[in-house]
Amino acid sequence: MKTRNLFAFAAALTGAMMIASCSKSDDIQDDTNRPVRFSGAIEGQVAATPVSRAADDRWGNDAIGIFMVGHGGTTVSESVVNYQYTTTGNDNFTPVSSVIYYPMSGAAVDFIAYYPYAANVTLDNEITVTIGDQTDAGQPTFDLLYAKADKGGNGYTKEDKDAVALKFDHKLAKIVMNCKADASVGATNLDDMTVTIKGTNSKNTFDLKTGTLGAANTEADVTPRKIATADGFDASYDAIIMPGEYGANTITVEFTIDGETFTWDVSEAHAKFDGGNEYTYEVTITRTGVSVSGSITSWETKGNNRGEVTAQ
């Protein structure tokens, strides 16, 4: 009987020691730095197909820059300035070198992130945004995505174990032109057509603290890229452009076929392009002018009819 009691006492003592050990281990875990995990979705994101870089609503092999700031402000926390994180297209981001940890003090923080990543960026210097020739596969490098996460106004702390969800918005605008030529033009196809957008702003600055663009005033030609042809058309093109409102006779698009140029005055009355919107136009090139109808479709998949415009 005494032996059995001794064994029972020893077992109870061992169990108590194990519980105490686990509690102590948990306390240690709570007192150590907790790394921040990130997931990122582009607004209106669709099921991803592997791509080389961010394209419209999908990630490819992309890098973003992340800042950690005190909750409700823009003061950098724990010296987390422009930490580079990457994704291969699965929406989960991993650090390239330095890992972001929550403050040991338990202070609440927010996160600011942008794409595409650039070195030597701080919250005190604005990003330069330049729009140029987009005929090659590098068009996504002209895009500008921005996210600010504050956990619904509550801020994040080291007690948060779920990934911080970065919701990225497009800050620039996009034009899509689905083109066809009628018989009067005489072109059998538009494979060799060149397209040039004239009169739009090509350079601007972006403030990471406020998530806003500056006042652009540098104009330059933009060359759209050729994309997969939409059904019922002869050729399709798209271009990322700077948001802004333009006066009459400011923006034109030139379509050159077999050495002959046909011009569409986009801003015949006025033209306003908002960041985050995609402007799709159906373009018919004729001897008497360029006939165009179009619509706005936000990259957030909401939109409204833009109406019909005609250029001679």
pLDDT tens-digit readout, 158-180: 999 999 999 999 999 999 999 99
Whether residues 185 and 286 share a domain: the answer is: yes
Whether residues 70 and 165 share a domain: the answer is: yes
Check the CA dihedral 6-11-13-14 and report its sign: positive
In a domain, 69, yes or no: yes
- Of 132, 151, 170, the one marking the end of a domain is 170
According to the model, what pLDDT value does residue 56 have? 55
Whether residues 196 and 305 share a domain: the answer is: yes
Contacts 24+ apart (CB under 8 A), 188-193: 189/234, 189/235, 190/234, 190/235, 190/257, 191/235, 192/257, 192/258, 193/235, 193/255, 193/256, 193/257
Q: How many domains does the chain have?
A: 2
Whether residues 137 and 207 share a domain: the answer is: no
Q: Helix, strand, or coil here: 79?
A: coil
- Name the helix (H) or strand (E) containing 284: strand 277-286
Domain that residue 296 falls in: 173-311
Whether residues 180 and 276 share a domain: the answer is: yes
Whether residues 146 and 201 share a domain: the answer is: no
Kindly report, residue by residue over 259-299, the tens digit of the pLDDT: 899 999 987 667 889 999 999 999 999 988 898 988 887 76
Strand 194-198 to 201-207 pairing: unpaired
In a domain, 18, yes or no: no
According to the model, what pLDDT value does residue 32 have? 67
Whether residues 60 and 136 share a domain: the answer is: yes
In a domain, 245, yes or no: yes
According to the model, what pLDDT value does residue 75 have? 97
- Name the helix (H) or strand (E) containing 289: strand 289-298
Whether residues 209 and 151 share a domain: the answer is: no
pTM of the model: 0.80
Mean pLDDT per 10-residue section of the chain, whose length is 312 residues? 46 46 45 84 49 57 93 97 88 91 96 94 92 80 91 96 92 94 82 92 94 87 93 94 85 92 83 91 91 77 32 30
Residue in 42, 16, 35 with CA at minimum distance from that of residue 299: 42
Burial of 244 (0-12, 13-18, 19+ CB in 10 A): buried
In a domain, 242, yes or no: yes
Whether residues 153 and 183 share a domain: the answer is: no
Whether residues 54 and 153 share a domain: the answer is: yes
- Of 170, 200, 228, the one marking the end of a domain is 170
CATH code for the domain in which residue 190 is found: 2.60.40.2630
How many beta carbons lie within 10 A of that of residue 24, not counting itself?
Answer: 10
Q: Are 285 and 262 in contact (CB under 8 A)?
A: yes
Position of tokens 């306390």?
27
Whether residues 106 and 212 share a domain: the answer is: no
In a domain, 265, yes or no: yes
Residue in 129, 169, 177, 123 with CA at minimum distance from that of residue 292: 177
Whether residues 55 and 183 share a domain: the answer is: no
The one-letter code for the residue type at 284 is T
Residue in 83, 76, 186, 195 with CA at minimum distance from that of residue 134: 195
- Of 170, 197, 218, the one marking the end of a domain is 170
In a domain, 106, yes or no: yes
In a domain, 134, yes or no: yes
CATH code for the domain in which residue 79 is found: 2.60.40.2620
